[in-house]
């Protein structure tokens, strides 16, 4: 993308939120602190019952680029994200969860790396577990083939609004794994996802975080996502997906099963998970 286009492109940051006023303020501030100047912020308040409405009213009075939509009843994260996308005026969309936050140059550097041969751009993430932090360094280019093994993108990207609209946005029928499903469809229709070589987002991984999703059983969504895209997968991908489903369910998996189900290029990751997580 040329520098001329850089200065003219509006990027819409979309943030769904529910009962997280303190963390939401940090998330919004991280967008306001971006070095990319041409931005709007679209927050969808999913019927919060805390101080979120008052906070958003005060912030929208201070910042004219902050747009607030409130759901009268809770619709869940996917529906709230789709509402935000539909209200966004930017050519580009960048998602942010209300308990995560961005480094100041995130949008600037993601826009530098965006190219029409990619469907989206992501970055490395700093995963905050409270007592420790780990940097997730992702592949420089994440293909559809990569994604059919597991979600190698994470929870957020920057992409074109046009792409999201053409693939129908987030699948509101999934109870979880809605982001993973979206990345598969983006990569399938518009090409691989590029990773900027910077750590530009901090992701809250604390055990006490509460999800905005309405799902009571996270594994159901993952299985539904797997079934939705199974026909795209080869035998190796299907075997590994089934192994990951068992692990996610908390079922006992021994070393022999790990080695039989895991492709060679993913063995180090799985052995590390089994030993340390």
| Average confidence (pLDDT) over 136-152 | 97
Instruction: For each of the domains in the chain, give its residue range(s) and CATH number, in order of start.
Output: 3-210 (3.90.550.10), 234-277 (no CATH)
**Please, which residues bridge with residue 158 across strands?**
94, 121
Q: Is the Cβ–Cβ distance between 117 and 191 less than 8 Å?
A: yes
How much is the pTM? 0.92
What three-state secondary structure class fits 44? strand
Q: How confident is the model at residue 210 (pLDDT cuts 50, 70, 90)?
A: low
| Average confidence (pLDDT) over 38-42 | 97
Q: What is the overall mean pLDDT for the chain? A: 92
State pLDDT tens for residues 240-268.
999 999 988 888 888 998 899 999 999 98
- Given a cut of 50, is residue 218 above it in pLDDT? yes
- Region of 250 (left: φ > 0; alpha: ψ -120 to 50; beta: rest) is left
Structure tokens given for 206: 């604390």
Per-residue confidence (pLDDT) for residue 115, from 0 to 100: 93
Torsion angle in degrees (nearest 10) through CA of 16, 192, 236, 222: 10
Which of 23-32, 140-149, 243-252 shows the lowest mean pLDDT across its residues? 243-252
Q: How confident is the model at residue 215 (pLDDT cuts 50, 70, 90)?
A: very low
In 205-246, beta strands by DSSP E: none
Distance between first and last Cα of the chain: 40
Per-residue confidence (pLDDT) for residue 214, from 0 to 100: 41
């Amino acid at each position: 993308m040329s520098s001329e286009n850089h200065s003219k492109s509006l990027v819409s940051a979309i943030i769904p939120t529910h009962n997280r006023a303190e963390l939401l303020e940090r998330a919004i501030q991280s967008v306001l602190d971006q070095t990319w100047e041409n931005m709007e912020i679209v927050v969808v308040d999913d019927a919060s019952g805390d101080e979120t409405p008052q906070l958003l009213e005060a912030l929208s009075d201070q910042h004219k680029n902050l747009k607030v939509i409130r759901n009268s009843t809770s619709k869940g994260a996917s529906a709230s994200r789709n509402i935000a996308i539909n209200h966004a005026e930017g050519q580009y969309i960048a998602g942010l969860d209300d308990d995560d936050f961005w480094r100041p140059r995130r949008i600037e550097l993601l826009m530098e790396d965006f190219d029409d041969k990619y469907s989206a751009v992501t970055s490395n993430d700093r995963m905050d577990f409270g007592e420790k932090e780990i940097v997730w360094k992702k592949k420089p280019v994440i293909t559809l083939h990569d994604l059919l093994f597991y979600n190698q993108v994470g929870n957020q990207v920057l992409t074109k609004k046009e792409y999201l609209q053409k693939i129908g946005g987030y699948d509101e029928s999934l109870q979880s794994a809605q982001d993973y499903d979206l990345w598969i469809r983006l990569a399938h229709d518009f090409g691989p996802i590029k990773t900027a070589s910077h750590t530009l987002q901090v992701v809250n991984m604390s055990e006490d975080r509460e999800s905005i999703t309405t799902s009571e059983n996270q594994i159901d969504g993952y299985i539904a996502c797997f079934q939705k895209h199974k026909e795209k997968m080869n035998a190796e991908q299907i075997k590994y997906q089934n192994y990951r489903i068992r692990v996610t369910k908390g079922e006992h998996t021994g070393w022999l099963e790990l080695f039989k189900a895991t492709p060679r290029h993913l063995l180090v990751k799985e052995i590390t998970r089994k030993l340390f997580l």
